[in-house]
Amino acid sequence: MLRTAGVVLWKDLKIELRTRDAVSAALVFAILVLVVFNFALGGNTPELRRLGSGFFWVAFAFSGTLALNRSSQLEKESGAGRALALAPIDPAGVYLGKFLANAAVLVATQIAVLPAFVIFFDVPLEVGRLGWLAASFVLGAIGFAGPGTLFSAVAANTRMRELMLPLLFIPVSVPALIAAVETTSFALGDPGSASFWFKLLIVYDVVIVTASLLVFEYALEE
């Protein structure tokens, strides 16, 4: 399984590094969403800073969906996914490879969006809480990519796959998104503790990735 995962991960990252399709589309879209929110609420207000992490994750959810759609499109184009289905390999390895590639693309998008977010929302970045910010980004991306990779394989076999994907997987990702918003808020200076949300995010990630690994085989069947 790990060998298959490594090969699929290598292939997806190689394609992304060559084309930069997923990251660039997600980045542009996320920045546009942040600009719209910034103008809607008026710049440099305490309200804007307080709600900033929520807007960040809303922008991420929209733009991340684009990246996941691109990932499933790779397998549909020219029937390449069928050649993958011919190989006597563990489908869980395919899931793991695609999930890791998707999570890497999503984290790269978050890092690229961060400067624009800091400027538009005037949020403080405290050195002491950067670890929390990094953890919320990585765990949030895992919580998003986990079901996203599974459902993008399901949606790929449907007639309106671009429409079906967010309808299928965003409801499942809501716990991860809420926990990520709360953890990011703490990382950006909110008083209180993020301990509960952080633990929830870890538990959610473990459960959703494990469950997706187990059922991915059925998602590949046409």
Residues that bind other proteins (CB under 8 A): 3-4, 7-8, 10-11, 14-15, 18-19, 74, 77-80, 82-89, 221
Closer residue to other proteins, CB minimum distance, 87 or 127:
87
Closer residue to other proteins, CB minimum distance, 47 or 221:
221
Q: How far is the CB of 23 from other proteins (least distance, A)?
A: 14
Q: How far is the CB of 90 from other proteins (least distance, A)?
A: 10
Q: How far is the CB of 80 from other proteins (least distance, A)?
A: 5
Q: How far apart are CA 135 and CA 141, in angstroms?
A: 10
C-alpha angle 144/58/170, rounded to 5°? 40
Q: How far is the CB of 169 from other proteins (least distance, A)?
A: 24
Closer residue to other proteins, CB minimum distance, 78 or 159:
78
Closer residue to other proteins, CB minimum distance, 84 or 114:
84
Closer residue to other proteins, CB minimum distance, 5 or 48:
5
Whether the Cβ atoms of residue 23 and residue 108 lie closer than 8 Å to each other: yes
Closer residue to other proteins, CB minimum distance, 21 or 122:
21
Q: How far apart are CA 51 and CA 199, in angstroms?
A: 22
**Which of 114, 102, 127, 135 has the alpha carbon at shortest distance from 23?**
102
C-alpha angle 191/173/28, rounded to 5°? 80
Q: How far is the CB of 79 from other proteins (least distance, A)?
A: 3
Q: How far is the CB of 152 from other proteins (least distance, A)?
A: 16
